[in-house]
Amino acid sequence: MFEKKVYLQRRAALQSKLNSGILLFLGNEDSPMNFKDNIYHFRQDSTFLYYFGINEPSLAAVIDLDEDETILFGNEMSIDDIVWMGRQKTLAEKSADSGLSKILPLDQLDNYLKKYQDKNRSVHFLPPYRPENIIKLTNWFNIPTDQIKERASLSFIKAVVAERSIKSPEEIAELDRAAAISADIHLMVMQQAKPGMYERELAAKIQSEALASGGNLAYPVILTVQGEILHNHYYGNQLKEGQLVLNDSGVETALGYAGDLTRTFPVGKTFSAEQKDVYDIVLNAYHHAKDLLAPGVRYLDVHLASCKILAQGLKDIGLMKGNIDDAVEAGAHSMFFQCGTGHMMGLDVHDMEDLGEQYVGYTDDLVKNTTQFGLKSLRLGKALEEGYVLTVEPGIYIIPELIDRWKASNQFAEYINYDKLETFRNFSGIRVEDDFLITDSGSRMLGKHLALTTDEIEAIRSEAY
């Protein structure tokens, strides 16, 4: 946990933004794998972690805005718990570390909430993403399970988003650490990969290093020779000379802060000329985006500018054609780049995603485009502020199914050179990604430098095996 004053300040800042009623915070439960007691590793809810810092299951908390009272609901360990799980700090000790003085047994939460509802006072809750918490809210408030999310409190959501979006110095230190550890692991992978290995062997090394660092993975490893598959969690391919390995992986620190890095490197010692050409297009887009980062700049504009660099590069090698500005406006480049240039990052790798992308990444005046292929996957569009942490991650992905689909309807034929594209059908994909903090005048990369240019990567690969 951070120092006690951090949590006191965070809760005080939140209270100052909201008027009346009670704020209900639900921690996470253990998640079962194949039976109740065989569980996945525990991950606390990030908002609960942010305001209370207590990293254990089956907790809830309320802030009564009118009475200015904060209560933690949870149970101390029984002797049976101690036999099976060992003696940890007591809940009372952990609460004290979080600056909390009032703890009630978990089963009193029902009555506490009922008392509030009877008085017609409002209970604010955040949109739940864990089904256990959907069940709890359904039972407390008598709302059907499929309507719970829309009944979440917009003022509560907005206040939390506003606060969590601006990273404090102690959070930036954690995010720096997460990015640095992630960079070390990426370097290790780049040094150890060799032809004949299976993807899962490298994915396993990454997982192992994340755990050994004292934290865990921030998200499931993407480690694949099919980099064109954006969220690929299949690790069954054998690495072959000539292929590219795309490694998108990052750790979260013990306190829960994420790193999120991607590098793409050759299975062999060198990139082919064609791979190098495409890599350099992606790297240009990366540098262009990164150089634009500054307070006041809309990330949507960073994204579109970066997409134009991608599209111009693709035109230079004959895969796109026509007017590039028009092509990007129409969305033709999303044949090659189907997703967004980046997203907010913090306690969640896609920070606060389940509080609503519209609130995290957009504004009332800048509404997310949820229809255009490509733009609908851009999680962040609004103007940047000092203290934001986000990724920059352009890429080029050649997806055979998408070629077939679009070609069949001759989609964007004025911008896409389908004949040439067929010769790239099995190219796979390239992505480059780093994490950035928005500073008062621009941005700073988090963590440490990790081989970025094809020369730097080939220098590492030349000593790899």
Contact between residue 243 and residue 267 where contact means Cβ atoms under 8 Å apart: yes
Considering only 12, 82, 154, 459, the residue that binds a second copy (CB under 8 A) is 82
In 3D space, the residue among 52, 114, 103, 53 whose CA is nearest the CA of residue 75 turns out to be 103
For position 357 contacting a second copy by CB under 8 A, the verdict is no
Considering only 12, 211, 367, 459, the residue that binds a second copy (CB under 8 A) is 211
Using CB under 8 A, count the residues that bind a second copy.
71
Distance in Å, CB of 397 to a second copy, minimum: 8
Segment 403 to 432, residues that bind a second copy, using CB under 8 A: 405
Considering only 12, 114, 131, 191, the residue that binds a second copy (CB under 8 A) is 131
- DSSP character for 332? G
Considering only 349, 390, 416, 430, the residue that binds a second copy (CB under 8 A) is 349
Considering only 4, 43, 158, 194, the residue that binds a second copy (CB under 8 A) is 43
For the record, the structure tokens of 258 come out as 């994420």
In 3D space, the residue among 252, 274, 244, 259 whose CA is nearest the CA of residue 431 turns out to be 244
Considering only 55, 165, 182, 226, the residue that binds a second copy (CB under 8 A) is 226
Contact between residue 453 and residue 283 where contact means Cβ atoms under 8 Å apart: yes
DSSP 148-161: TGGGS-HHHHHHHH
Q: Is the Cβ of residue 219 or residue 415 nearer to a second copy in the bound state? A: 219
Considering only 8, 96, 106, 135, the residue that binds a second copy (CB under 8 A) is 135
For position 85 contacting a second copy by CB under 8 A, the verdict is yes
Cβ neighbour number for residue 212 with a 10 Å cutoff: 11
Q: Is the Cβ of residue 62 or residue 126 nearer to a second copy in the bound state? A: 126
Considering only 64, 280, 353, 386, the residue that binds a second copy (CB under 8 A) is 353
Q: Is the Cβ of residue 257 or residue 299 nearer to a second copy in the bound state? A: 257
Q: Is the Cβ of residue 352 or residue 457 nearer to a second copy in the bound state? A: 352
Segment 142 to 201, residues that bind a second copy, using CB under 8 A: 144-146, 198, 200-201
SS3 113: helix
Distance in Å, CB of 298 to a second copy, minimum: 24
Cβ neighbour number for residue 339 with a 10 Å cutoff: 22
Distances in Å between the alpha carbon of 174 and those of 33, 255, 347? 30, 8, 10
Considering only 19, 34, 371, 409, the residue that binds a second copy (CB under 8 A) is 34
Stretch that binds a second copy, among 94-102, 115-123, 185-193, 213-221 (CB under 8 A): 213-221
Q: Is the Cβ of residue 235 or residue 418 nearer to a second copy in the bound state? A: 235
Contact between residue 293 and residue 438 where contact means Cβ atoms under 8 Å apart: yes
Segment 368 to 407, residues that bind a second copy, using CB under 8 A: 399, 401-402, 405
SS3 373: coil
Cβ neighbour number for residue 293 with a 10 Å cutoff: 22
For position 248 contacting a second copy by CB under 8 A, the verdict is no
For the record, the structure tokens of 121 come out as 């006072």
Letter string b/e over residues 408-444, b meaning 16 or more CB atoms within 10 A of that residue's CB? eeebbeebbbeeebeebeebbbbbbbbbbbbeeebbe
Q: In the chain, what is the greatest distance between 2 CA atoms, to the nearest angstrom?
A: 73
Stretch that binds a second copy, among 208-216, 273-281, 323-331, 442-450 (CB under 8 A): 208-216
Contact between residue 451 and residue 459 where contact means Cβ atoms under 8 Å apart: yes
Segment 287 to 346, residues that bind a second copy, using CB under 8 A: 338
